[in-house]
Amino acid sequence: MNFKHVFKPGLLIICIGLLMMSCSDDDNDLNSGETYETNVYITDSPLDNAEVEGVFITVAEVMVNGEAIDNFSKTTFEISSLHSGSTELLGSLNLESGATSDISLVLDNESDASGDSPGNYVLTADGEAHAITSSSSEIVVNDDVEIAENNDNEIVLDFNLRKMLTANEGEYAFVSDSQLSNSIRAVQSAETGVISGSVTDFGEAENETVVVYAYEAGTYEESEAEANNGLRFANAVNSSIVAENSSDFSLHFMEESDYELHFVSYTDSDQDGQLEFEGEIEATATGETDLSLLNISLESNTEVEINVVFSGLLSI
């Protein structure tokens, strides 16, 4: 066969054209790089420590996918005040769609935004500021967040100070790097919901402070109530204090899933300013007959409201 007669000039031109179009499409895929505005916020789960008036942290930089958020300057936040759905905007940056690869916060352990020392501290009820010691200045968040193809993306970094801090005779410290990484949740706000409610009857239970802990349904074990390195209920996804004046509680920025709630009583039995664990409370949901505190289904952009009654302590 004479191959020079196989490819005719017209056919050759068509093949070259198709090849060029294919290369052009590949180039567009590689260089499309379309990005979407993403706001980054911080919030906190309340700290169940009676002697603490406030916790202040100084953030020097916030990085997402290796990019620093725009126009951010070192800022000191009273992180303990940002609970019950309250947030503070850190700033914004443009990100490509898809899951984030890494999120990290750089803290200034030496000085706050005003240049005063220390950078991170606990303010106790006696008005004294206690420096928070740390072995590192960077917190790498374990969670990934899905960035959608729109400009309404909101990443919420949910601190859990209860898990982040250790206290020993007036000295405060951040936990280890790996524990810190597990002490901050990163969520896409549009993919979360709220579980809220009110305790309508405390029964015979006399509670100084009540905390509600949320777990993924089926994951709670009785051993959670035992102190592990000074921390109880270490695997709770979120927590909320039942307000003394209203008996209300709210768990915000909860990702779509099934949850179970556990109510726990604390009291300052020895009047030393620190709350001691008293026991888990026997609690029941009222109203909807099919609603169970051990299986609450939450969907994105919804709020599940629950009325709860207490019967007493399950254990002391």
* 3 state SS for 35-67: EEEEEEEEEEECCCCCCEEEEEEEEEEEEECCE
Does residue 157 sit in the same domain as residue 51?
A: yes
How far apart, in whole angstroms, are the C-alpha atoms of residue 222 and residue 235? 12
CB contact at 8 A, 179 and 136: no
Does residue 176 sit in the same domain as residue 49?
A: yes
- 28 domain residue, yes or no: no
pLDDT at 18: 43
Does residue 177 sit in the same domain as residue 43?
A: yes
pLDDT at 16: 42
Report the SS3 class of residue 237: coil
In tens, the pLDDT along 194-232 reads 999 999 998 876 667 899 999 999 999 999 999 887 789
pLDDT at 153: 96
Does residue 259 sit in the same domain as residue 307?
A: yes
Angle at Cα 24 formed by Cα 19 and Cα 29, nearest 5°? 125
Does residue 262 sit in the same domain as residue 126?
A: no
Does residue 200 sit in the same domain as residue 156?
A: no
- Final residue belonging to a domain, choices 159, 182, 205: 182
- 7 domain residue, yes or no: no
The number of CA neighbours under 13 Å toward the Cβ of 41 is 20
- 288 domain residue, yes or no: yes
* Domain enclosing residue 53, as ranges: 33-182
Overall number of domains in the chain = 2
Q: Which tokens sit at 105? A: 């916060």
- 214 domain residue, yes or no: yes
Does residue 261 sit in the same domain as residue 289?
A: yes
pLDDT beneath 50, residues of the chain: 1-9, 11-31
How far apart, in whole angstroms, are the C-alpha atoms of residue 272 and residue 285? 34
- Specify the pTM: 0.85
Does residue 217 sit in the same domain as residue 305?
A: yes
Does residue 227 sit in the same domain as residue 271?
A: yes
Does residue 159 sit in the same domain as residue 224?
A: no
Does residue 49 sit in the same domain as residue 109?
A: yes
Does residue 66 sit in the same domain as residue 168?
A: yes
Question: Residue 235: CB partners within 8 Å, gap ≥ 6?
Answer: 215, 219, 224
pLDDT at 291: 83
